[in-house]
């Protein structure tokens, strides 16, 4: 069933039920239109395109990026329909990267259902990822020129650049917090920033609004990714439905571990170095790694960094026109920080 | 070393040396600029992007699509530089699909060198294919609006659509010549058509020129693909450097085989059906298949279809402004037909 915002599914904290209700009230109708647009653009008279397109349209994610874009659009008083289309464009870019990620990671599941890769095989999954990527660009250029197309293309290019750099730095324990931030900037924060800024093009907003929205999205995206990286240490079967420590198992060195390699005890560092050298990730060893990182206090530390970015994002909302949509935008970073999966 | 046109490497027939010389004279300078643009747009301060980008820029193909676009541009008297950039855009789209094809086919070599997949592994090859795809769209939209961007996006989308349909019809001996033509239209001819038509946007040509160029490119693309499919039966180690019959080994049912399934003897049909059912492609069995298809006359038949399309393409050149560039365009389809690899 098509529903509006899915934010409420994201947090167990009851205080966010109100945030979700406010999102629904402000942009619920447009979120439904985004779902409709996504489904429409993936329709095709051709098998297997039609099947995979319908499957993707059904398997909905959090729609966090469309929600962000539509709330900004509402805040800026945009009254047309192009915001809905651009929200679908960014969701396509996000979806395309997930399809290709699942091939590379050989992931069996995505959003609780078989991944495209496991259901249709790698050949069609590679092609469908391409198709969704190009659909994003196709939709953006057939809308006609609004100046936002280069921002869309930049965001997509940056995202892939970030994944390539991350792939290159796999298993690399010498990565610095600054380098890690650069990867996050490309692979996650750029898309949030583009979503937040896009409505500024639609209403021809002044330069300072463009800049404030760009930074708002970027800071929120950084906070989002950092929390994601921390959740990988905090998670257990009960919350995320997967064991903790999976990032390192795949070679991804994230902020909590980076901080421990900088600030931890020699014993902790030696433990991690030996683990990475052996690449033997038995469940008990992974559990010990996770415990050591948590006990070092570096997950707390990384979460504090995430909170700082969330606070900076919220603060930037003061630059935007007052109103209920702005109020929700100001609460969104806090929500991103407190999510549990 | 960067060189201009590579057409002469394509044919053993000496009569085409002159075509190549004419191409050089007319668009050789711009072809060098295309190489330069491709290399520039793939430059990056980031490893492994920089390495893979340089590798791709060096491993040059035939550059048939840029040559086509630039010859049309010359014919229409376009005097700017955007034709060079769009030529690079289409070459990026073509290159991106080859990168992803090589992953799916597990191809070790591409253009005589290790494929991206075999050199950098599937993860980075998937991402680099995405990067090159999106680079095409990025370059097209950062050029500013000329009305041609939707044509570029359509061509890329059609190409992937064609590959998806082809993938779906693997091993399917019930495919008709009409369905085969539709696949070729999407996966090959659409990109040729877009290349040929693009300069019409740049000079704001009248509608009938747009249409003639579109059909010229489309017909030449169909001829190109049909010849490719025939060469798979005609090839031996001496010409293509690979054994004949590889398409069917990968499940691709092409026109010569389709025609034999329609018009061949019951014995030939039964042989093919048994082969596809068993999927046992020993070299001797593959050789027998190839011999049977050639002896049935259906490779000749498919080549005749290709010649018809090439002739239709050449005929359309009469609609274009007279001059040496038009003369070369009129000879290009014949070249495409007579190529040997």
Residue B15: the pLDDT is 64
Which pLDDT tens digit goes with each residue over B176-192?
999 999 999 999 999 99
Q: Do A47 and B168 touch (CB under 8 A)?
A: yes
Determine the average pLDDT of the residues in A61-90. 96
Report the 10 Å Cβ neighbour count for A162.
24
pLDDT at A1 over 50: no
What is the pLDDT confidence band of residue B7, given thresholds at 50, 70 and 90?
low
Residue A61: the pLDDT is 80
Determine the average pLDDT of the residues in A74-101. 97
pLDDT at B8 over 50: no
Report the 10 Å Cβ neighbour count for B70.
29
Residue A2: the pLDDT is 35
pLDDT at B4 over 50: no
Cross-chain CB nearest to B48 (options A123, A127, A168):
A168
Which pLDDT tens digit goes with each residue over A135-194?
999 999 998 777 899 999 999 999 999 999 999 999 999 999 999 999 999 999 999 999
Q: Do A46 and B161 touch (CB under 8 A)?
A: yes
pLDDT at B339 over 80: no
Q: Do B123 and A129 touch (CB under 8 A)?
A: no
Three-class DSSP labels, B51-95: HHHHHHHHCCCCCHHHHHHHHHHHHCCCCCCHHHHHHHHHHHHHH
Chain A residue numbers touching B150 (CB-CB < 8 A) = 138, 141-142
Joined together, the tokens standing for residue B147 give 């009305």
CA distance B15 to chain A (A): 40
Residue B84: name the closest of B22, B150, B39, B25 by CA: B39
Q: Do B156 and A138 touch (CB under 8 A)?
A: yes
Q: Do B134 and A153 touch (CB under 8 A)?
A: yes
Residue B144: the pLDDT is 77
Chain B residue numbers touching A128 (CB-CB < 8 A) = 164
How high is the ipTM of this complex?
A: 0.92
Q: What own/partner pairs with CB < 8 Å and gap ≥ 24 does A144-150 have?
A: A145/B145, A146/A82, A146/A201, A146/A202, A147/A201, A148/A86, A148/A198, A148/A201, A148/A202, A149/B141, A149/B149, A150/B138, A150/B141, A150/B142
Delineate the domains of chain A, giving CATH numbers in brackets.
7-338 (1.10.600.10)
Report how far residue A2's alpha carbon sits from residue B19's, in angstroms, rounded to the nearest whole number. Answer: 59
Q: Do A129 and B130 touch (CB under 8 A)?
A: yes
Collapsing DSSP to helix, strand or coil, B153 comes out as helix
Residue A3: the pLDDT is 42
- Give this prediction's pTM: 0.93
Q: Do A137 and B135 touch (CB under 8 A)?
A: no
Which pLDDT tens digit goes with each residue over B196-230?
999 999 999 999 999 999 999 999 999 999 999 99
Report how far residue B234's alpha carbon sits from residue B231's, in angstroms, rounded to the nearest whole number. Answer: 5
Residue B13: the pLDDT is 59
**Segment among A48-52, B16-20, B41-45 with least mean pLDDT:** B16-20
Report the 10 Å Cβ neighbour count for B179.
15
Three-class DSSP labels, B4-52: CCCHHHHCCCCCHHHHHHHHHHHHHHHHHHHHHHHHHHCCCCCCCHHHH
pLDDT at A341 over 70: no
Interface of B with A (CB under 8 A): 44, 46-49, 96-97, 100, 103-104, 122-124, 126-131, 133-135, 137-138, 140-142, 145, 149-150, 152-154, 156-157, 160-161, 163-165, 167-168
**Segment among A111-120, B13-22, B122-131 with least mean pLDDT:** B13-22
Mean residue pLDDT of chain A comes to 91
pLDDT at B11 over 70: no
pLDDT at A9 over 70: no
Q: Do B46 and A154 touch (CB under 8 A)?
A: no
Chain A residue numbers touching B100 (CB-CB < 8 A) = 126-127, 130
Residues in chain B: 341
Residue B35: the pLDDT is 96
Cross-chain CB nearest to B160 (options A130, A167, A168):
A130
Collapsing DSSP to helix, strand or coil, B341 comes out as coil
CA atoms lying within 13 Å on the CB side of residue A113: 12
Report how far residue B217's alpha carbon sits from residue B316's, in angstroms, rounded to the nearest whole number. Answer: 10
Q: Do B154 and A138 touch (CB under 8 A)?
A: yes
- The answer to whether the bond into B324 is cis (omega within 30° of 0) is no
Cross-chain CB nearest to B127 (options A127, A153, A164):
A164
Which pLDDT tens digit goes with each residue over A191-236?
999 999 999 999 999 999 999 999 999 999 999 999 999 999 987 6
Determine the average pLDDT of the residues in B165-179. 96
Task: Kindly state the helix (H) or strand (E) to which residue A42 belongs, with its residue range.
Answer: none
Cross-chain CB nearest to A160 (options B100, B130, B150):
B130
Residue A55: name the closest of A133, A111, A130, A135 by CA: A111
Which pLDDT tens digit goes with each residue over A274-327?
999 998 888 889 999 999 999 999 999 999 999 999 999 999 999 999 999 999
Nearest CA in chain B to A93: B134
φ, ψ of residue B295 to 5 degrees: the values are -65, -25
Determine the average pLDDT of the residues in B318-339. 94
Chain A residue numbers touching B124 (CB-CB < 8 A) = 164, 167-168
Which pLDDT tens digit goes with each residue over B252-288?
999 999 999 999 999 999 999 999 999 888 888 999 9
Q: Do B138 and A154 touch (CB under 8 A)?
A: yes
Collapsing DSSP to helix, strand or coil, A169 comes out as coil
How many Cβ pairs closer than 8 A exist between chain A and B? 133
Q: Do A49 and B133 touch (CB under 8 A)?
A: no
């Amino acid at each position: 069933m098509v529903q509006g915002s899915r934010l409420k599914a994201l947090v167990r904290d009851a205080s966010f039920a109100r945030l979700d209700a406010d999102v629904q009230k402000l942009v619920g109708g447009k979120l439904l239109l985004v779902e409709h647009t996504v489904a429409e653009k993936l329709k095709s008279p051709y098998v297997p395109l039609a099947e995979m397109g319908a499957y993707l349209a059904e398997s909905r994610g959090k729609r966090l990026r469309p929600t962000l874009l539509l709330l900004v659009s509402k805040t800026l008083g945009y009254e047309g329909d192009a915001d809905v289309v651009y929200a679908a464009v960014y969701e396509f870019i996000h979806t395309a990267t997930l399809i290709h990620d699942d091939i590379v990671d050989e992931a069996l599941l995505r959003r609780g259902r078989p991944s495209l890769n496991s259901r249709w095989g790698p050949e069609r999954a590679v092609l469908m990822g391409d198709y969704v990527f190009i659909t994003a660009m196709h939709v953006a250029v057939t809308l006609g020129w609004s100046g936002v197309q280069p921002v869309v293309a930049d965001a997509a290019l940056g995202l892939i650049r970030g994944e390539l750099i991350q792939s290159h730095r796999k298993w690399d324990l010498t990565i610095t917090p600054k380098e890690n931030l650069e990867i996050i900037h490309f692979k996650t924060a750029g898309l949030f920033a583009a979503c937040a800024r896009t409505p500024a093009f639609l209403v021809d907003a002044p330069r300072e609004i463009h800049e404030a929205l760009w930074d708002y999205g970027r800071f929120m995206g950084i906070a989002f990714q950092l929390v994601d990286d921390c959740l990988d240490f905090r998670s257990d079967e009960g919350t995320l439905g997967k064991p903790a420590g999976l990032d390192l198992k795949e070679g991804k060195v994230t902020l909590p571990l980076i901080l421990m390699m900088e600030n931890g005890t020699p014993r902790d560092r030696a433990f991690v170095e030996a683990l990475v050298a052996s690449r033997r990730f038995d469940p008990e060893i992974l559990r010990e790694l996770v415990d050591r990182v948590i006990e070092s206090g570096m997950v707390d530390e990384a979460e504090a960094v995430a909170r700082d970015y969330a606070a900076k994002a919220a603060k930037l909302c003061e630059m935007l026109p007052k109103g209920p949509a702005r109020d929700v935008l100001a609460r969104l970073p806090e929500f991103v920080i407190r999510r549990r999966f």
